[in-house]
Structure 1
Amino acid sequence: MDDPADSAKKTLLRKLNGQMLGKLLVIAVLMLGFGYGLVPVYKQICEITGVNFLTPKDSTVEAPTNSQVDKTRTITVEFDGNAHGPWRFRPMVSSMQVHPGEMAQVTYEVVNTQSRKMDAQAIPSYAPQQAAAFFKKVECFCFAQQTLGPNEAKQMPVVFYIDPALPKDVKLITLSYTFFEIAGQADKPV
């Protein structure tokens, strides 16, 4: 036979367990609601403070500009290309004006005038020499070996910016590339 005391304990435990389960479910639902409720609050706080701005209110809002660009200074960058070998190598523009911190792009063209494939590489140099530390290339064909097929022409971009820490007395920088064949890498005529 069941002891009435044991039966009462079991009933009391079931009741207490049911109450605890109910409390835990309410807490879980409240936590879930609180988590979802924080998203619009977070967006509002970000919009008001301007920190980590997620979405513009209007699609006509202009993209933010780079605050690192020094619009008070203009640097003239001259481009030069030298070829050691049987090809033509030249920049598409001879110079451009840039503000320190502003991204810019120049394109160089190389034409292999041979009837064979050639492997080549470009090496940059800068004038004045002190400008080298402030001329930051983001993308450059000089980072990799170039393979040119017979009579092939390639246009190769250089994406760069001038570090705003460039000394104020430097107003002209020359970027020069020497393009040369890599010895022992070219295909031999058949």
Structure 2
Amino acid sequence: MSRIRRFNLRTLSKLLLLVAAMFAFGYAMVPFYNAFCEFAGINQLGDRESAIIARNTQVDKSRTITIEFDANGRGPLRFQPEHSSMQVHPGQMATINYEVANEKPYQVRAQAIPSYVPALAASYFNKIECFCFTEQTLQAKEAKEFPVVFVVDPKLPKDVNTITLSYTFFDLGTAPKVGTESR
């Protein structure tokens, strides 16, 4: 075997190993992220503690917080909140609906990830029901409405009057079936 051929085979094997490592890293990110969120105490959805907090919270009618809703759809998805904002009192349970639509003629798997501004609001924004962090399947041309039920903790610092809840809905890369339109 020539020296150049051996060099090429070694390079190819290193590249294949790198691709396998990158795939394994990407695959491991979801459980790692979930474990980190559980450890940090953020984005705990639908857990018993959040429901208990929501039931036992006194509504602070002396304060009003503006919640702004933002939606970003990636890939073939159209994604939007029912309202761009709402006023809530700390401790008051509120619901906002988001609509997501698959605009392609094939099934799509997708997932939403939330973020908050200011970032410290994440600790005080208790979601009781949420579609985020759960893979969603939308059939061809299907639209669905997803509720987010939440309570803003009355312990939110007094200088925070506005919270922006932003979701990004990612297409998880389902390939179209044979005979359908490509992306």
TM surpasses 0.5: yes
Q: Structure 2: give runs of 5+ residues left out of the alignment.
A: 1-54, 179-183
Taking structure 1 as the reference length, the TM-score comes to: 0.63
Q: Distance in 1 between matches of 2:57 and 2:165?
A: 25
Q: Distance in 1 between matches of 2:167 and 2:120?
A: 17
Q: Distance in 1 between matches of 2:149 and 2:176?
A: 34
Q: Deviations over 1:67-118 (max 9, x none)?
A: 6111110000000000111121000100000000100000000110000001
Q: Deviations over 1:129-162 (max 9, x none)?
A: 1111000000001031110000000000000010
* Alignment of 1:188 onto 2:146: no
Hey, what does 2:74 align to over in structure 1?
A: 84
Q: Distance in 2 between matches of 1:110 and 1:141?
A: 11
Q: Distance in 2 between matches of 1:80 and 1:145?
A: 20
Hey, what does 1:155 align to over in structure 2?
A: 145
Map 1:86-101 → 2, pairs under 5 A:
86-101=76-91
DSSP-derived class of the 2:132 partner: helix
* Alignment of 1:110 onto 2:100: yes
DSSP-derived class of the 2:140 partner: coil
**Of residues 122, 135, 142 in structure 2, which corresponds to 1:132?**
122
Please list every run of at least 4 consecutive aligned residues from structure 1 whose deviation after the TM superposition is greater than 4 angstroms. Answer: none
Map 1:19-98 → 2, pairs under 5 A:
68-98=58-88
- Partner amino acid for 1:84? R
Larger RCO of the pair (alpha carbons < 8 Å, separation 6+): 2
Task: Work out which of the two has the higher radius of gyration on C-alpha atoms and give 1 or 2.
Answer: 1
DSSP-derived class of the 1:130 partner: helix
- Partner amino acid for 1:74? T
Q: Distance in 2 between matches of 1:67 and 1:170?
A: 19
Offset at residue 188 of structure 1 (A): 3.5
The number of aligned residues is: 124
